Amino acid sequence: MSAATLTGFFTGLSLILAIGAQNAFVLRQGLLQSHVFPLALFCAASDALLIAAGVAGFGALTAALPALPVVMSLAGAGFLIVYGITRLRAAWIGGHRLAPEGEAHSLGRTLLLAAAFTWANPHVYLDTLGLIGAVSTSFAAGMERLAFGIGAVFASFVFFFSLGYGARLLAPLMRSATAWRVLDGLIGVTMLAIAAKLLLGLV
């Protein structure tokens, strides 16, 4: 069972380490030290639900509904384009510093954005419902497969809380407006690049 748990942990961690819209958002909120705990908890809990569904075999849904990946890709790309342009605009205008007045979002808006980055992102479903679900089938149904899922879920909790609270280590570097312009620019480019990848995948 311990081998299954470790496999689940490192499988989940290897997938979640890739730079993505959700990770960039958590990093930014961590730097602002704004709603870090509820945000990290929301992202990890969302992953837990999707991983549980994947391990339970929910990945068959995409086979039953062939149009679903296309709809998800279009919706996700549209959201990423809007948010990416917003961050590029912030980078162009500048003037932001660490925890500037009025820069931090309310808890409600923070969680709404997190929900969009999580549930409107087709890659999240591919990783959790698809890949993790597929790997889980190599373990016997029952306790071994459950242990694999627990390991993958634990990886999400470790990652998001480490990213959110670990971002504070970068705080000394983010006290200048220039540093924030660079960060917002990188986040904006990342968002647009992911959106482009989603749209190109439909061609």
Q: Which helix (H) or strand (E) holds 190?
A: helix 177-200
Residue 184, SS3 per DSSP: helix
Rounded Cα distance between 74 and 76, Å, is: 6
Number of domains in the chain: 1
8-20 pLDDT, tens digit per residue, is: 898 788 777 766 7
Confidence of residue 102 (pLDDT cuts 50, 70, 90): very low
51-97 pLDDT, tens digit per residue, is: 998 888 765 666 677 776 677 677 777 877 887 898 888 888 875 55
Q: Are 132 and 7 in contact (CB under 8 A)?
A: no
Helices 177-200 and 68-93: angle between axes, nearest 10 degrees: 160
Which amino acid belongs to residue 49? L
Q: How many CB atoms lie within 10 A of CB 202?
A: 10
Length of the chain: 203
CA angle 186, 31, 102 (to 5 degrees): 95
Q: By residue range, what is the domain housing residue 42?
A: 2-200
184 class by beta-carbon count within 10 Å (0-12 exposed, 13-18 middle, 19+ buried): buried
140 class by beta-carbon count within 10 Å (0-12 exposed, 13-18 middle, 19+ buried): exposed
Half-sphere exposure of 86 (CA within 13 A, CB side): 8
123-154 pLDDT, tens digit per residue, is: 787 777 777 777 787 677 788 888 989 999 99
CA distances to 24, 159, 175 from 17, in Å: 11, 8, 26
What pTM, to 2 d.p., does this model score?
A: 0.72
